[in-house]
Amino acid sequence: MLRQDLATWQEQMARATGLSATSRIEYARDGESFVVWLEHGGFGGMAAGVTVQDIREYRDHLIAAGRAPATVNRALVSLSLFLTAAGRHADNPVRKVERVGVVARPPQALSHTAWNAVRRAAATLVCRDHGLALALVCLMRYAGPRVGEVAALRVPDARTSARRGVLVIRRGKGLKYREVPLVAEAREPLEEYLVHRRDLAQHWARKADTWDAPSPVWAAWPDGRLFLGQRGPLTERGIRTIVTKLGQAAKLDEPLSPHDLRHTFAKALLDPGAYGLTRPSVPVTTVQELLGHAALATTALYTRPSYADLARLMGEPLDTH
């Protein structure tokens, strides 16, 4: 009977060393649910009697029950493993059943209101952190570097002057070099932080003298790391922590990540109207270059409208507060 095949498979999984406990539980639960569904339909045979139609109807049953696409597709994976273990190696019916297609969600970007709340939260910290948080989030929002790229920045990589600036990413993803213009919204908070960054170089030099040790290279001016925390260069984890806390202070509905700021940078270039801007959108190929994407398809995800975008385009009031 199919129940016996299921029990045997579950015992095999319990002895398998390559599966996590969570995976074993999920696979076993999927197999159990399938067998129960078949039994309710009057099935009383062995694994050899399970047909492609059985699998297809069970998939449709899960969809009708409101299961998420990922849950339905995982169930199909579980059933494929189950039937293979039960001897259906060459004629596994699950292989002939189409998975549920999932349309990729557009990358999550902050609304105009949400970004302003984050910026204000960072601005309230200037007296305590000398503009570190504000410079960080404005750089990610208006230049779009990845969090790892931000952590690797050195002082000479952020070139600023009164009217222009450029951010140099020397080792982007795939070891690609790129330059991103620094607009005033990113440049001005960064210049204010750099005043403090110069003082930090002297601070660490004095500490080194006290310890009778050489001054740390990462603290040197003007060649050291750009963003320093209390104990040394900011790591990716440290940057994430700062950004997350700012999201909490801004009372956002969802946790804030550095990648959300990168998404917002891209979104504002491709859809300026979402941020109350009247300038034309930037060509997607240019945004691809600025983000350092290897494939245009990755950048194209940013052009897909979110629910809020659709509502705005269909006449809802524009959020510009």
- The set of catalytic residues is 146, 173, 259, 262, 293, 302
Tokens matching residue 205 = 């030099």
Residues 6+ apart with CB under 8 A from 212: none
| CB distance 22 to 29 below 8 Å | no
* Spatial distance between the Cα atoms of 200 and 208, rounded to a whole number of angstroms: 12
| CB distance 280 to 272 below 8 Å | yes
Query: Taken in order 235, 237, 240, 246, is the CA torsion positive or negative?
Result: negative
Strand partners, 165: 160
Q: Would you list the DSSP string of 160-206?
A: E-SS-EEEEESS-GGG--EEEE--HHHHHHHHHHHHHHHHHHHHHHH
